[in-house]
């Protein structure tokens, strides 16, 4: 039997951890899972041919830049799938569009405010080329607002794991990741839908890549 390559093994680890949820053990499990997620994502960023870093950047890459893990930013919500999920064109920051499936809504309460986020299924967004099926929430919060922004200006992406049964989903914003454009200006990112804009600051998840050396 052929042994998996290092890149394939790293990708498998990252894909598994990406949707791993905190278990009954509480904050320790949340912190450990998020640290594993970050380690796997760093390895993927350095080794995957589909990662956005150019060769010069890969040579000096020593990890992405995150806020400390904060398990109070893990929320539960209800997933409501559209009766007929439809293909839709979403504008990107480089003036183009990408095709996504408008899959449904997630309703949850964050810091006392009720939100209803639009959930998409990926079709051709290059950020998720390594995955066969990705369901995610593009969102933007107050940390991306200039002049004192600490996260990517156009927003971030939060992948979600579909429930095995029922409609309850976990939103762990510690796993919020930057779009490819934050590492490579040749990419665009989604223009965040108005429904997915959060007025409060979510000081959690991935920070602006360019700030890692400040």
Distances (CA, A) of 186 to 52, 98, 119: 9, 15, 25
Distances (CA, A) of 135 to 35, 128, 160: 22, 10, 6
- Note if the pTM is more than 0.85: yes
Q: Does 18 score more than 90 pLDDT? A: no
Q: Does 11 score more than 50 pLDDT? A: no
pLDDT in tens, 132-165: 789 999 999 999 998 889 999 999 999 999 999 9
- The predicted pLDDT at position 23 comes to 44
pLDDT in tens, 30-69: 999 999 999 999 999 999 999 999 999 999 999 999 999 9
Q: How far apart are CA 155 and CA 177, in angstroms?
A: 9
**36 in helix, strand or coil?**
helix
pLDDT in tens, 163-200: 999 999 999 999 999 999 999 999 999 999 999 999 99
């Amino acid at each position: 039997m052929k042994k998996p390559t290092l890149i394939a093994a790293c990708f498998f680890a990252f894909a598994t951890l990406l949707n791993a949820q905190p278990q009954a053990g509480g904050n320790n499990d949340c912190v450990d899972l998020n640290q594993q997620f970050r380690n796997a994502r760093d390895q993927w960023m350095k080794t995957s041919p589909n990662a956005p870093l150019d060769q010069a950047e890969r040579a000096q890459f020593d990890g992405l830049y995150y806020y400390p893990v904060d398990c109070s930013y893990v929320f539960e919500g209800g997933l409501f799938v559209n009766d007929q999920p439809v293909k839709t064109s979403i504008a990107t920051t480089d003036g183009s569009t990408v095709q996504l499936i408008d899959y449904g809504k997630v309703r949850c309460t964050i810091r006392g405010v009720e939100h209803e986020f639009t959930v998409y299924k990926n079709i051709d967004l290059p950020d998720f080329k390594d995955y066969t099926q990705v369901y995610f929430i593009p969102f933007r919060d107050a940390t991306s607002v200039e002049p004192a922004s600490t996260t990517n200006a156009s927003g971030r992406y939060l992948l979600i794991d579909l429930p095995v049964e029922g409609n309850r989903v976990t939103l762990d914003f510690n796993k919020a990741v930057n779009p490819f454009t934050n590492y490579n200006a040749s990419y665009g990112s989604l223009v965040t839908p108005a429904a997915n804009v959060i007025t409060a600051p979510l000081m959690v998840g991935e920070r602006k890549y360019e700030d890692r050396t400040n």
